[in-house]
Amino acid sequence: MASSLTVPQAIQELKIAQARGHRDSNEIVRKGLFVLEQKNGLKMLGEDVWDFLEQMAVAALDIGQLELADDCIQRLAEQFPKSPRVEVLQGQRIEAKDLDMAIKYYETLLDADETNVAAWKRLISVLRQQNKMDRCISELTEFLDTFYSDLEGWLELADIYASVNLYTRSLQALSHALLLAPQNPFHTLHFAETAYTANDIPLAIRYFLRTTELCGDDSRGVARRAWFGVRLCTKHLTLHPDSPSESATKPMSTSSLNALGELATERLLAAYSSTSEKAVVPGRKEVLKLLGGSGTSR
């Protein structure tokens, strides 16, 4: 730890990492140990000491510093006996030792309180780690029947279905995610790419286009991938106008496909030809060649 770092600075950086959901566990443990090693370090945290110990416990478990995790969890358990959050931390500690034992532990917690969301999610996570996919899907489906608005749960279910090549079911799960977060272009792009993988090209192109609408004038990142998806779809549908659609999405006219193909090519050429992006866009030359553009900037 740099000697120039002060305890207040370390505490502030840890708070920022926690607020933003950053999971750089090595860095969290380094800064946390720095605070712990200083005289009155914990006292300087005030009422934030418990959040600090929880953050440290999770990070220590991530990188295998089990003694440090045990110390943090023990302090929390002494302060908050029977706390559901602490009980789940204790479960994560058991996971580091024995996954089967962790499953039994989470089942015990859920027998005592069937609304224990954190324990239910950890149970689902462990089942997936052990590749017990049937029960994992069953538990997650039941969880979502109870807590419909859990966006992360629907995304997890979509990912699980996709991992076993059940793309239609993955799309069904993603459709719920879109209902919960209709303005999020990442989820719309995810839906479009899954539809493309499922070979429902008419459905995919409509959601690629929806993604470009949500991104506005942004020509980078998500929008670029969406326009590339539009380009692939228009090419496919032009060559195979009778492509089947399991979702029964109506096909576009040839004139619409041609216009969209030209627009997608134009947007991609503009994005990949931008002088300001030359150094940061991976595969720039290859994409320009594929699109029929030159490797030089305009």
Give me the pLDDT at residue 289, please. Answer: 61
- Distance between alpha carbon 26 and the CA centroid of its chain, in Å? 21
Give me the pLDDT at residue 232, please. Answer: 94
Which residue in the block uniquely carries the two structure tokens 């931390």? 89
Give me the pLDDT at residue 298, please. Answer: 34
Model pLDDT for residues 160-190, shown as the tens digit of each residue: 999 999 999 999 999 999 999 999 999 999 9
Give me the pLDDT at residue 221, please. Answer: 84
Mean pLDDT per 10-residue interval, the chain, length 298 residues: 75 90 90 88 88 95 95 95 93 96 97 94 97 96 97 97 96 98 96 97 97 78 92 94 90 92 89 59 61 46
Give me the pLDDT at residue 292, please. Answer: 61
Nearest to 208 by CA among 224, 199, 218: 224
Give me the pLDDT at residue 42, please. Answer: 84
Sorted by where each begins, the domain ranges of the chain are 1-81, 179-292
Classify the C-alpha dihedral 289-208-140-73 as positive or negative.
positive
Give me the pLDDT at residue 272, please. Answer: 75
Phi, psi of 118 (to 5 degrees): -65, -40
Give me the pLDDT at residue 296, please. Answer: 39
Q: Which tokens hold the place of 241? A: 């106008």
Whole-angstrom CA distances from 241 to 200, 238, 249 are: 12, 6, 13
Reduced to 3 states (helix: H, G, I; strand: E, B; else coil), residue 252 is: coil
